[in-house]
Amino acid sequence: MRTSYCGTLRAADAGREVSVCGWVARRREHGEHLAFLDVRDHTGVVQCVVARADAARPEHVVKVSGTVRLRPEGTANPSLSTGEVELADCKLEVLNAAEPPPFVLDGHAEVDEAVRLKYRYVDLRSARMQRNLRLRASVNSALRRAMERLGFVEIETPLLWTPTPEGAREFVVPSRLQHGSFYALPQSPQIAKQLSMVGGVDRYYQIARCLRDEDLRADRQFEFTQLDLEASFVGETDVRAFVTEAVKEAAEAVTGQRPPEFDQMTWAEAIARYGSDKPDLRFGMEITDVSGVLRASELKALRAASVKAIVHPGGASTGRARLDSLVERAKALGAAGLVWMRVVPGDGPGALEVDSPVGKYLSHGERSGVLAACGAAAGDLVLLVAGEHRRSCEVLGQLRLDLARPAVGTGGLRFAWIVDFPLFDGVDELGRPQAAHHPFTMPNPEDLELLETDPLAVRALSYDLVLNGWELGSGSIRIHRADVQRRVFSALGMGDDEVEARFGFLLGAFRYGAPPHGGFAFGIDRLVALLAGEENIREVIAFPKTQSGADPMTGAPGPLGARQLAELGIKIVG
RNA sequence: GGACCUGUGGUGCAGCUCGGAGUGCACGCCGGCCUGUCAAGCCGGAGGUCGCGGGUUCAAAUCCCGUCAGGUCCGCCA
């Protein structure tokens, strides 16, 4: 039907007889005998010269046959890939007429997302969506290449799995053959892939759809896609090397450049320096501990266990209203308060003074000590939070992002491995430790004895991959011995009966020869969004859902008919 | 479960604080003119449940209450 794609024609093609197919992007009419028609396909647009264009309205589907020729002197369009040529002596065939589209696809108007989603099939024609979908495909392709090169074998795991009421809320599917029983759609193929290790697969991977019935966000959809992998007879560094290789291959496929070595720091270091377990390393403003300087301060509030500071370079010009809102923000984040200091020149060369509500309560030595400790200079803004170590760090970590985070798509790609996560993160209302990662995570062997005595201090053999402040994914070495697994379940407050009911088949498998193994999973939607410079994963998903979980195009979710409900043994009560 | 922002011809906005006739801008659409444009240009035209419901008022896009939808965030996401 066609000989060429629209966006590929160049000066070197001059003289060729070609046919292109696509959509009418735009037309420019000059009276009876001359009109220009821009025909668009996924590769771009090409200008076709026709006598009359009445029959070809925007978004009509057309086939144009003609001769490629150089445009007349002075009429080339350098902003177009095909700007040096045009199609002349055209035969125009309308393959399908179209109603005027609900919005224009010229990339200039910012169209409301709800409208775009309702007419997603039109929206997908835009250069932006075409680019994002193809970028995503090349990421998938690169990931597969890397995994195959590393000896991983692609295995499909069930979508209809058994309910495991741990972690994220599950989507469930009623069983027609066993009324009252349900399948669960997998939050991740975690257990299946571990069983594949017991099954001697050695190296498993899958580009897996995961489903979680939790509230949606800019970086979270009900269903999302992970590169999921697991390997036997490996340690932490092996797993990280596999993932690093795959991610680098994907980034290179998109950017043309192999990314530099990934940073690596411990979880404790990430919290202390950036106030986050997913630090954005594209900029500085690291947190400084100034507790020592203020230990004997007249200000009781600053004699806390831990006083932290960040410096906002050039922030001394920040107005009172803005500072007040920062104080409110800090309180909303859980800080007792926020002390700000505008750094101004003092008397004498190089001397500094502070303009701060608490300035007069601090000695000269304390004021200069704080400035020296965090390296502040005249014109900067210093923010102090006092309280418990982790909370103070996290509050300042959030303010750091609020004040200075670079826009998505700028500042390059700063990958970082965060290692040595704690095994448990806090306790629930009954005082039981909560698994930070998942309950199959191997405790650090050095900390095994703390499982029963000080569980919150136990480090895990687990690690996260972070890119520009987004958590891409996480992984761990798994427990492969039933006795250790039982101790962890016990620390989690799960009794033998409960464990048996939920994970009996997994513990059973571990009795039949489970190799040491570990793995990882990371979100492809997030990786692709960051590589595409999008701040929302919906922009890299062909048919995403809104924040309330609806699809404006299909109307999903929708009701079931009485007959279908009866077949499933389901009665709607609310 | 909660906080905040948004909702006005097909699209994007302004109008809302201080109530006074659906007022305005840009794009698109329809028709006319136009032989080198390229986000073409010029002229004309059509197109409205101001998200929805209620209240206040002589009078509501505008003020108040409720509700729905979209978005950002908190909770949630082992």
- For residues A378 and A453, membership in a common domain is answered with no
Evaluate whether residue A455 is within a structural domain: yes
| A38-64 core/surface letters (b: 16 or more CB in 10 A; e: else) | bbbbbbbbbbbbbeebeebbbbbbbbb
The DSSP output letter for A127 is: H
Q: Do A86 and A181 have their domain in common?
A: no
State yes or no: pLDDT of A189 exceeds 90.
yes
Are residues A383 and A419 located together in one domain of the fold? no
Going by their DSSP bridges, the two strands A263-266 and A415-419 should be labelled as parallel
Q: Based on the domain organization, do A91 and A172 belong to the same domain? A: no
As a whole number, mean pLDDT of residues A520-525 equals 98
- Whether nucleic acid strand B comes within 7 Å of the CB of A220, the answer is yes
pLDDT for A500 = 86
**A453 domain-assigned:** yes
CATH code for the domain in which residue A449 is found: 3.30.930.10
In angstroms, the CA A194 to CA A466 distance is: 24
* Strand partners for A387: A306
Residue A229 lies in a domain: yes
The reply to whether A493 Cβ lies less than 7 angstroms from strand B is no
- Using omega within 30 degrees of 0 as the cis cutoff, is the peptide bond preceding A445 cis? no
Considering the domain boundaries, does residue A122 fall inside one? no
Looking across all nucleic acid strands, the nucleotide with the smallest C1' to CA distance from residue A110 is B12
In one letter, which amino acid is A367?
R
Q: Which structure tokens are listed for A188?
A: 């991740």
% chain A with pLDDT above 70: 100
Handedness of CA A390, A221, A468, A436 (dihedral sign): positive
pLDDT of residue A318: 87
Which residue is listed with tokens 């979100």? A523
pLDDT at position A545, please? 97
Which band of pLDDT confidence, cut at 50, 70 and 90, is reported for residue A350?
confident
Q: Is the C-beta atom of A3 closer than 7 angstroms to strand B?
A: no
Question: How many domains is chain A built from?
Answer: 3
Write the CATH number for A64. Answer: 2.40.50.140
Which pLDDT tens digit goes with each residue over A91-113?
999 999 999 999 999 888 889 99
pLDDT score of A307: 94
Nearest nucleic acid nucleotide to A59, CA to C1' distance: B28
Please report, rounded to whole angstroms, the spatial distance between the CA atom of protein residue A259 and the C1' atom of nucleotide B57: 66
pLDDT of A108 reads 81
Is the per-residue pLDDT at A501 higher than 90?
no
If asked whether residues A258 and A139 sit together in one domain, one would say: yes
**Residue with CA nearest B70 C1'?**
A114
Question: Which one has a higher pLDDT value, A407 or A182?
Answer: A182
Of residues A258, A272, A197, A185, the one with CA closest to residue A224: A185
Is A71 (CB) below 7 Å from strand B? yes
pLDDT at A13: 97
Sorted by sequence, the CB contacts under 8 Å of residue A190 that are 6+ apart come out as A438, A440, A521
- Indicate if CB(A103) is under 7 A from strand B: yes
Report d(CA A422, CA A435) in Å as an integer. 9
Q: What is the pLDDT averaged over residues A385-400?
A: 92
**Phi-psi sector, A160: left (phi>0), alpha (psi -120 to 50), beta:** beta
CB A253 within 8 A of CB A138: yes
Mean pLDDT over each residue of chain A, to the nearest integer: 94
To which H or E segment does residue A392 belong? helix A389-404
pLDDT band at A320 (very low <50, low <70, confident <90, very high): confident
Q: Give the whole-angstrom CA distance, residue A140 versus residue A526.
A: 13
A325 phi, psi to nearest 5 deg: -70, -30
Domain stops at, among A364, A380, A404: A404
CA of A116 to C1' of B23 (A): 29
Phi, psi of A565 (to 5 degrees): -65, -45
- Rounded to whole angstroms, the distance from the CA of residue A104 to the C1' of nucleotide B12 is 11
A59 is in which domain, residue-wise? 6-96
What is the per-residue pLDDT across A204-218, written as a single tens digit (0 to 9) for each?
999 999 999 999 999
Which nucleotides of strand B come closer than 7 angstroms to any CB of the protein? 1, 10-13, 27-30, 33-41, 69-78
Distance in angstroms (rounded) separating the CA atoms of residues A129 and A115 = 15
Domain check: are A370 and A428 in the same one?
no
- Residue A561: inside a domain: no
ipTM: 0.94
Is A47 (CB) below 7 Å from strand B?
Answer: yes
CA to C1' distance (Å), from A150 to B32 = 67
Question: Is the residue at A363 inside a domain?
Answer: yes
Residue A429, pLDDT > 80, answer no
Which CATH number does the domain housing residue A307 bear? 3.30.1360.30
Q: Is the CB of A166 under 7 A from strand B?
A: yes
Name residues whose C-beta falls within 8 Å of residue A445's C-beta, 6 or more positions apart in sequence.
Answer: none
Residues A324 and A205 in one domain: no
